């Protein structure tokens, strides 16, 4: 397996481990779903005075299907 690095805003880097036997467009779609599943940053919770506390798109990898093919 190879490590993919996704560079997020403000210098955050997320390492993703993904198998090699996938096409490049499929990997891109899967990486997008991985980024969507991140928790809400703390500074956003502070900025919105705790009105936004959780990510509605948060997904557990084993429980729900991604549906990207």
Task: Kindly report, residue by residue over 3-23, the tens digit of the pLDDT.
Answer: 666 666 666 676 667 778 888
Instruction: Tell me the mean pLDDT in the region 42-69.
Output: 92
Residues with Cβ < 8 Å from 37, sequence gap 6 or more? Answer: 55, 57, 58, 59, 61
Using the predicted structure, report yes or no on whether residue 63 has a pLDDT greater than 70.
yes
Distance CA 39, CA 57 (A): 9
Q: Where are the domains of the chain?
A: 1-69
Residue 41 has pLDDT above 90, yes or no: yes
Residue 1 has pLDDT above 80, yes or no: no
- The predicted structure's pLDDT at residue 55: 94
Q: What pLDDT is recorded for position 4? A: 63
Q: Is the pLDDT of residue 26 over 80?
A: yes
- Tell the CATH topology of 1-69: Atp Synthase Epsilon Chain; Chain: I; (1.10.1620)
């Amino acid at each position: 397996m190879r490590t993919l690095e996704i560079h997020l805003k403000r210098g955050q880097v997320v390492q993703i481990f993904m198998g090699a036997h996938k096409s490049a467009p499929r990997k891109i779609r899967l990486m997008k779903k991985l980024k969507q599943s991140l928790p809400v940053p703390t500074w956003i919770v502070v900025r919105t005075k705790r009105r936004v506390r959780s990510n509605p798109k948060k997904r557990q990898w084993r429980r729900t299907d991604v549906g990207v093919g």
